[in-house]
Amino acid sequence: MIAHPIETAAPPNSPMDKWEVQLRKGCLELAILASLWPGRLYGLEILRLLEQDSDLVITEGTVYPLLSRLKAEGLLHSEWVEADAGHPRKYYRLTAAGRRRVAAMGRIWSRFSASLNRLLSRVLKEEK
Amino acid sequence: MLQPKDPAQKIELYLRQVRSGLRDLPEPQVADILQELRSHILESAQTGGALSDTATDAALQALGRPQEVASLYVAENFMARAESSRTPWMVLRGVFFWAMLSLKGFVVLTLCLIGYMFGAAFFIAALAKPFNPQAVGLWMTSPDSYSLMLGMTDSPRHGRELLGWFLIPVGCSLGGGTILLTTHFGLWCIRRFQRARVTLGLEGSHE
């Protein structure tokens, strides 16, 4: 099985593909923080949520180091919980600082995307 | 090397490879990382309570190459630490680690070392001035050339000293400024190149 780490719309290894990978990677931190807004989740749940709710399909191996940095920055808190599965799971939740950060990032994102969409609406209309 | 056949053996081999890439991190953190990855792999690979061979392969493949996962951890960990401490020592340590991996890192390490040596030279000149005011200074080595020399000289009579006692404040501020600028340069390079390397490394890992 050959898994492309990030399934982009552009053909692999083209300049557009690189741009799309960078764009998605840039948004990954926000997506992870946002996925934890309702409550605590463990790594695999975050991954499944990201695959389901957004098309941010990513190499699974990138999420864990990122979670560890977000924790080191004080945005996340983690705890080990014994599970029926036979192995404990590491759950993450947002700290107060994490909630403030994701709310601020969300405001910036929605302002930014709204203005970019206005700009792009002309491009996309004329292209049709 | 023998290829492990058993799914459990494959998982342990994978985790051993991750561990070997995590040498720079403290042991409790390494144990925690491996525990979390093991938990992830077991849960993704288990179908109906048993580990299947193909599901284990798929789970390990989806996680990415062990060396890449480990280097991501080290990079993210180092960036969080360099970001919070911002000391020349942490920056040099990080750049040194990076220089062992790539030519770009080596170039940045060389530039940082030159920057820090210049900074230290300014400071040392400023500190030495009160002890030997006749010999320490910024010397124009001969009247008809623009060659400058900073520091202690044995034959000050041919040259002209330019700064006098101003060497102390000028040396301290230039020294501090150079060290500060070098630290910022190092941090900027680390953020920029390390991120790019890590992303591209993972992009290439499944080709």
User: For residue B50, what are the β-bridge partners?
Assistant: B47
**The pLDDT of residue B196:** 58
Of the candidates A92, A90, A83, A104, the residue with the CA atom closest to the CA atom of residue A35? A92
Of the candidates A30, A29, A55, the residue with the CA atom closest to the CA atom of residue B195? A29
Quote the percentage of chain B above a pLDDT of 70: 80
The arithmetic mean of pLDDT across residues A80-99, rounded, is 91
User: For residue B166, what are the β-bridge partners?
Assistant: none
Q: Measured between CB atoms, which of A2, A68, A85 is closest to B43?
A: A85
- Stated length of chain A: 128
Query: Which tops the pLDDT comparison, A10 or B92?
Result: B92
In this structure, are residues B112 and B120 in contact, taking their beta carbons and an 8 Å threshold? no
Given a cut of 60, whether residue A1 has pLDDT beyond it is: no
**The pLDDT of residue A2:** 37
What crossing angle do the helices spanning B7-21 and B66-85 adopt, rounded to 10°?
30
- Encode pLDDT of A49-84 as tens digits: 988 877 666 678 889 999 998 998 889 999 999 987
CATH of span A15-127: 1.10.10.10
- Encode pLDDT of B17-51 as tens digits: 999 988 778 899 999 999 999 999 999 888 666 77
Q: Name the pairing type of β-strands B46-47 and A76-81.
A: unpaired
In this structure, are residues B38 and B49 in contact, taking their beta carbons and an 8 Å threshold? no
- Is B72 close to A62, i.e. CB distance below 8 A? yes
Q: What is the band of B192 on the pLDDT scale with cuts at 50, 70, 90?
A: confident
Distance (Å, whole) CA B59 – CA B61: 5
> Which residue ranges make up each domain of chain A?
15-127
Given a cut of 50, whether residue B200 has pLDDT beyond it is: no
Specify the long-range contacts of residues B87-96, CB closer than 8 Å, at least 24 apart.
Answer: B87/B183, B88/B116, B88/B179, B88/B182, B88/B183, B88/B186, B91/B182, B91/B183, B91/B186, B91/B187, B91/B190, B92/B116, B92/B186, B94/B186, B94/B190, B95/B186, B95/B189, B95/B190
Q: Measured between CB atoms, which of A6, A86, A90 is closest to B36?
A: A90
- What average pLDDT is seen over chain B? 81
Chain B residues whose beta carbon lies within 8 Å of the beta carbon of residue A62: 64, 72, 202
- Encode pLDDT of A2-25 as tens digits: 344 455 566 666 777 778 877 887
**The pLDDT of residue A76:** 96
Task: Give A59 to chain B, closest Cα distance, Å.
Answer: 6
- Encode pLDDT of A99-122 as tens digits: 999 999 999 999 999 999 999 998
Distance (Å, whole) CA A22 – CA A25: 5
